[in-house]
Structure formats: C-alpha cells, structure tokens
Structure 1
Amino acid sequence: MIIDNKAKNFLSLATLFMATAIMLGAFGAHGLKKILEPEMLKIFHTGVEYQFYNTFGLFFATLIYILKKESKKIKVSLYLIVIGTLIFSVSLYLLTILNMPVLGAITPIGGTLQIIAYLLLCFGILKD
C-alpha cells in the first residue's frame, strides 16, 4: 500500500501530538504539581487527556482517509481534529501556566471543532 504525503503528514503530526502529550503529562505530574493549585493542575490534565484522545482519533481518522482518499468530508475532519485539539488543549495549558482565565473562553471553540470533526468523519465513512 502506498501512503500519500497528506496521510504521512497527518500520521507524523499524530506521533508528535502523542510525544508532546506524554511530555506534558509528565511535566504536569512532576513539574507543575508543586507550583499549581490542585484545581489548575486538574485543568492542565484535562488538556493532556483530550490531547491523548484526539491523537488516537487522528491516527484512526488518517487510516480511514488512506482507505477513502476521495472523501472530502474525511479530509476536512482531519484538519478539524488538528485545529480543535490545538485550540482546546493549548488554551488549557496556557490558561493554567500563565494563570490567564480569559483563555478558557476559547477552549469550547476547540471542543466544538473536535465534535464537528468526528461527526464529519462519521458522515464521510457512511456517505462517501
């Protein structure tokens, strides 16, 4: 099976997301535990958790894309997973580390993009 450059890029991005999720999880557990209040640490870990979930989703969505390259819905879902994950998780990381609660206002945008991504992926699987 030949994997095109788009699939290679998304798979590579998923591996980077996974590596950074592991690093950030360790950083939160060891480096931030003494610095952040428990509630802020919990928020940081929520960002890490969702980065993990969506990294697995990106891996699987990319494999589905490899099988159904013609589907525009699946292609768009890949981009939305990436953008949604970055907005959601990074906003939580920055919110806690920089103590900027205003960043919490953009977190739901990332979550909404993630939801749309997986619904679009579903439609792409069923309809295309």
Structure 2
Amino acid sequence: MTARLILQLAALLGALGVGIGAFGAHGLRAMLEATGRFDTFETAVRYQFYHTLALLAVGVLLHVRPDLRLLGTTAGLWVGGILIFSGSLYVLCFTGIKWLGAVTPLGGLLFIAGWIALLLAARQL
C-alpha cells in the first residue's frame, strides 16, 4: 500500500467516522438505546477512529520512509480491521443480526496483527 493510498483511506475513514458517529448519536440514539446497542455502536466508532488516526500517522511515516514496506502491511491490516470489527458492529446495531458477533473478533485480530507489523517496521528505523 502506498503512502498516498493510506492517507486517502485515513481521510475517507475519518470522514465516515464523523458522519456515522454523528448520525448514530443524534439521529439513531433512541433506536440504539431501545435495542441496548448504543454502547456497541460507540465501541465501533471509537475503534474506527483510533485506527484511522494511527493510519494517518503510518501514512505520513511511510511517505518519509518508503523503505519501511511493513508500514503498508500495517495499514492494510488496520483497514481490514476497521471494515470487519467496526463494520460488523455497525451492521449488528442496525440490523440485529447476532451471528455477526462471531465475526467481530477477526477484526480485532487484524488490529493486533497491524500493531505487531508496526512493531516490526519500527525495528528497522
């Protein structure tokens, strides 16, 4: 993954995080609270933002140090984690499809793998 693509994905995922978070907190709060899923929704938004901000930093670092190829791997793992972890929680919140709870930990594993890839990349500094 290139620095440009990583930064573009960070911008997109950041904008989506703000939009989804605001829509859920204001437009859907009553529905999410009635189903007991407001905390789940907040977790999805929070993890999306944590990893979007980390993705932004990785994109900048990769721009400065394009030789650290593991940073592209880190970014890919985190994007996958956002899609699977946060995405499955969003779908669960809005549809009530409970089997998605079994998919969510896979996104968490991608987040962890991304942090390990970052550790390995940092060893090359």
Normalising by the residue count of structure 2, what TM-score does the alignment of the two structures yield? Answer: 0.92
- Asked if 2 retains the 8 angstrom alpha-carbon contact of 1:32 and 1:41, the reply is no
1:62 aligns with 2:59: yes
Deviations 1:79-105 (A, max 9, x none): 111111111101000001001111011
Map of 2:26 onto structure 1: 30
Residue type of the partner of 2:19?
Answer: M
Q: Which runs of 5+ in 1 are unaligned?
A: none
Residue type of the partner of 2:40?
Answer: I
Mapping for residues 19-98 of structure 1, pairs under 5 Å: 19-36=15-32, 37=34, 39-98=36-95
1:13 aligns with 2:9: yes
Map of 1:111 onto structure 2: 108
- Asked if 1 retains the 8 angstrom alpha-carbon contact of 2:17 and 2:48, the reply is yes
Question: Aligned-residue CA RMSD in angstroms?
Answer: 1.5
**Number of paired residues?**
124
Q: Which runs of 5+ in 2 are unaligned?
A: none
- Asked if 2 retains the 8 angstrom alpha-carbon contact of 1:10 and 1:62, the reply is yes
Instruction: Name the SS for the 2:67 alignment partner.
Output: coil
- Asked if 2 retains the 8 angstrom alpha-carbon contact of 1:47 and 1:88, the reply is yes
Instruction: Name the SS for the 1:39 alignment partner.
Output: coil
Instruction: Name the SS for the 1:127 alignment partner.
Output: coil
Instruction: Name the SS for the 2:31 alignment partner.
Output: coil
CA change 1:105–1:53 in 2 (3 A) is same
Identity of aligned residues (%): 36
Kindly state the Cα deviation for residue 38 of structure 1 after the two structures are TM-superposed. Answer: 6.0
